[in-house]
A and B are shown apart, each in its own frame.
Chain A
């Protein structure tokens, strides 16, 4: 049976646009403009959910975003706030966590043992025996509240945006709207954020005059250029008015997080009507006055047929008028201002049937309306550092001393009629704009790129607003009976009394022990009642008990919105399109996408050793160094000597951190008198740049060195193999002489390659082969790569990937910083003792390296398994034979196609580092094998004849 009323003057539903949906599988119809809840109610249903713990039937309580009784499942989406979410055609809506049905929920049996399920029940009951916890957990999981998440549900698109408005107004009621209008008119950029779908606050369900006033304010806001965000919430306020705003109505995103830096925040959230605590207060049919007014005025819903109204304020009185106008019988009005109250609501399991009054009378009714007071949602004030103060005369909290750039207006600031609220909002908007203007002046004046400011800084505006009044209101929190305090968590006033009696009588402890105020409503409905009940239990006032601190988020926010758009930058070389087009298998190395191989890495090794191979090594860090003091800088950074490096030469070096740990390694070449090119490891490029700038800016600002990162400006290609010189000769211009006597190992030349000028060529190599490392301006990198392949066809040229390079460097025994070393490996561990020049005045890490040399530092050694076919995994432990003592680990391992056996590097303690020492290596499967320490790091060509060829 429908409960839809005839058309209401200011209803928000569009009766010309019916929407079909299902509720628990039953076909229903609502209208555009309905919330899910109003549509369900319109179809004659009044139970929306079951409570969390006792599975008591629950109906509408507040009929707005905060309603704790109307969380539903919509399709794959759990925990949807049905009293807020707009109805959409085709929605499949169902009740959550009920079995077998909402109407007959077997878990309601919990209510029979409710006396044993008091606050703290879980903590006390399931602590022991500890070994039973897995079993407890499985059972308890069946009682977990909330909807179901299907792991296969596609992820929604979430978005993020930054904003720098002068003024953000949190709340689009009459005061907030007026503040936004006046601030914008005063020249401020204004963002108005409204929690609900439409602006207006309580004007939306008010009189026709209210509706007219609202329409006027909205028109003013639009014409003033206010950015209006509806269905959006300022969820957090952080230092210096950094605001997190959740925008739920965005056309391209499920939810968008706006990170706004406001110069002034106007807090205008209005007031939230507080439920009243008494026996049976959670029965369906017990509602706040605001709920009744919204249901009738906005959605044309008949909330009941026979109403009792408990009123202590104008909202309750207005509800009486609204009910009468809608033709609903009012069987009794209880005026709480006279001291009368309600002591009990009773009825069937599904609906209130009778109301017991404090005078002992019992009235038959199916609707009990309560209007017992307001909670000021001071969350944003708390987040601003304010500690709101309780005013017993008004029975609510008010701001104490928020910062100057946080202003309040509307119900949170005081009481007034519509015009008074609007007037206060307007003066607040003017003040906000003026204060924002001063802040803007300061920021602009301090920012060199900004437009120059006009004149001196304006005087900071004082707050000269006429304050709103405070209407007296009786303190009404709990009747003479016990009832529900936290509807989300099923916490009653009796539970709170019990917890206080157990010693949890601090409000912070009480909250955590009972979980009161910690449900989806985030304490909006529960906090003040919780404090009041605790005050009653302690025999103190609310002010003496104090409150918990409201922290972000103001309202729940999707984790997806917090994550926002996923930005994961990746880097590619200029040759990447070729790699992709030619069958490379990509690998992500840090941020770089690199070709791991082109199908057969072992064959890539063989071809390079036999003919010539080329590989893309662009990620190598490259820094252009210029200035008269570069040599001093290099001497400070590297452990070896650099003051005499000749132009045209390159040198290898190891860098240490201040603690002597190996930071990076690479080669640096001298291109000109005061011009050098440094290479770093691929992963170390950014860190080394920072390290250099640290030395230049803080340690030796007198050194004249300019550092420019050119990693991606130069596409780097390693041409390696016995035919590499011949291949190079087919590409280089006359400006580069490749003769072995003219261009020796560890030398550098600049010139033309494949018609590209300003290339850098180094005779070095990581593979152990005769090789040339060429660095080409990246705008021509692909051209040079393709020319190499074309010109080298008759020489057997083929590309090789990262894997082949790793194999060849391991065959050659080159260590990799960060793989064969770790965060504890000091320079001596590398075995490069000859590069540690203690006769230099200073270098980073020098004393620490000297101390390391005096002790038993671990050594990097080449290792060959006794069984040549076994390749121990990297990180396999090396043990002292016959024991479990760890004496080292395998740091790198591969099967060498060149040597037809396993090749490894590892770190071992000194006593196991000698040549021919037998090691015990424990494999991943637990099996132990033996291996031998090699004489040299290099497994292949230890004398280096090939690379010097």
Chain B
């Protein structure tokens, strides 16, 4: 059987200054992403844990509790599958692969919060949005989930939204970061 076709990015990044300057913007949409919905008290909710609005790396995956009853799990397809495979979905719990539904961009740099502040009304100060925090918010008028997960102490934000907004949002972020070199 032929290999499955390659994942098609939701954006055209060529010709756009995504990597220029002190802030980098990358498209990580191909990352496998899963949504887990689980009610309080279910085995899955207990296993996933976390406080609402928080995220943490667990081995090869990043787990974020984006809603009171919803978690997102990111990583390679194998790592995500392994993590989900270990969950007991008995009771009121379910999983949906959202790899193709939700794009994921990553904006990284010391001034990344300033760039985000041009398109999002959330308080990105360290105390209010530390590494390991996640929040749902409007970014350039698109409903997004934002997860801060720093790289070597450099602020880094993963931004997820409906795939169809990809090019628009990517261009808006390139524009937002342009001011900061």
* Bound-state Cα–Cα, A571 to B117, Å: 23
* Bound-state Cα–Cα, A161 to B169, Å: 16
A259, A444, A571, A704: residue with the most chain B Cβ atoms closer than 10 Å: A571
B118 and A159 contacting across the interface, CB-CB below 8 Å:
yes
B133 and A778 contacting across the interface, CB-CB below 8 Å:
no
B5, B52, B122: residue with the most chain A Cβ atoms closer than 10 Å: B5
Among B35, B51, B121, B124, contact of A448 (Cβ-Cβ < 8 Å) = B51
Interface 9-mer from B78-86, B150-158, B160-168: B160-168
User: How many Å from the CB of B142 to the closest CB on chain A?
Assistant: 5
A238 at the interface (CB under 8 A from B): no
With A163-B117, A569-B168 known as contacts, the answer to whether A189 contacts B125 (CB < 8 A) is yes
With A449-B133, A572-B164, A574-B10 known as contacts, the answer to whether A756 contacts B128 (CB < 8 A) is no
Give the residues in chain B near A624, CB-CB below 8 Å. Answer: 96
Residue of B whose beta carbon sits closest to that of A251: B179
A713 and B125 contacting across the interface, CB-CB below 8 Å:
no
* Bound-state Cα–Cα, A850 to B165, Å: 41
Among A443, A450, A592, A755, contact of B164 (Cβ-Cβ < 8 Å) = A592
A780 at the interface (CB under 8 A from B): yes
A162 and B99 contacting across the interface, CB-CB below 8 Å:
no
Chain B 75-105 interface 0/1 with A at a Cβ cutoff of 8 Å (1 = within): 0000000000000000010101111111000
With A259-B121, A448-B51 known as contacts, the answer to whether A573 contacts B164 (CB < 8 A) is yes
With A449-B133, A592-B164, A780-B8 known as contacts, the answer to whether A444 contacts B128 (CB < 8 A) is yes
B134 and A569 contacting across the interface, CB-CB below 8 Å:
no
With A569-B141, A704-B92 known as contacts, the answer to whether A448 contacts B120 (CB < 8 A) is no
B164 and A708 contacting across the interface, CB-CB below 8 Å:
no
With A451-B127, A451-B130, A706-B37 known as contacts, the answer to whether A778 contacts B163 (CB < 8 A) is yes
With A259-B121, A714-B100 known as contacts, the answer to whether A626 contacts B94 (CB < 8 A) is yes
Give the residues in chain B near A160, CB-CB below 8 Å. Answer: 118
Residue of B whose beta carbon sits closest to that of A675: B94
* Bound-state Cα–Cα, A710 to B95, Å: 13
Give the residues in chain B near A567, CB-CB below 8 Å. Answer: 119, 140-141, 172
A107 at the interface (CB under 8 A from B): no
Among A444, A565, A627, A778, contact of B94 (Cβ-Cβ < 8 Å) = A627
| A-side interface size class | 35 or more
Give the residues in chain A near B123, CB-CB below 8 Å. Answer: 164, 261
A778 and B101 contacting across the interface, CB-CB below 8 Å:
yes
User: How many Å from the CB of A672 to the closest CB on chain B?
Assistant: 11
B130 and A779 contacting across the interface, CB-CB below 8 Å:
no
Count of residues in B whose CB is under 8 Å from the partner chain: 59
A447 at the interface (CB under 8 A from B): yes
With A592-B164, A708-B35, A713-B163 known as contacts, the answer to whether A780 contacts B130 (CB < 8 A) is no
Among B101, B122, B134, B168, contact of A712 (Cβ-Cβ < 8 Å) = B101
B135 and A444 contacting across the interface, CB-CB below 8 Å:
no
Give the residues in chain B near A627, CB-CB below 8 Å. Answer: 92, 94
Among A444, A710, A780, contact of B4 (Cβ-Cβ < 8 Å) = A780
* Bound-state Cα–Cα, A571 to B140, Å: 13
Chain A 565-596 interface 0/1 with B at a Cβ cutoff of 8 Å (1 = within): 10111111110010000000000000010000
Within 8 A of B (CB), among A765-812: 777-783
B4 and A756 contacting across the interface, CB-CB below 8 Å:
yes
With A162-B120, A569-B169 known as contacts, the answer to whether A447 contacts B140 (CB < 8 A) is no
With A164-B125, A573-B164 known as contacts, the answer to whether A777 contacts B99 (CB < 8 A) is yes
User: How many Å from the CB of B25 to the closest CB on chain A?
Assistant: 17
User: How many Å from the CB of B79 to the closest CB on chain A?
Assistant: 18
A571 and B164 contacting across the interface, CB-CB below 8 Å:
yes
Chain B 7-27 interface 0/1 with A at a Cβ cutoff of 8 Å (1 = within): 110101000000000000000
B43 at the interface (CB under 8 A from A): no
Give the residues in chain B near A778, CB-CB below 8 Å. Answer: 8, 10, 100-101, 163
**What are some 10 contacts across the A-B interface (CB < 8 A)?**
A567-B141, A569-B140, A572-B164, A573-B164, A708-B101, A710-B101, A712-B162, A777-B100, A778-B101, A779-B99
**Chain A residues proximal to chain B, CB less than 8 Å:** 159-164, 189, 252, 259, 261, 440, 443-444, 447-451, 565, 567-574, 577, 592, 618, 624, 626-627, 704, 706, 708-714, 754-758, 777-783
4 more contacts with CB within 8 A, not counting A440-B127, A706-B96, are: A567-B140, A712-B101, A712-B164, A755-B5
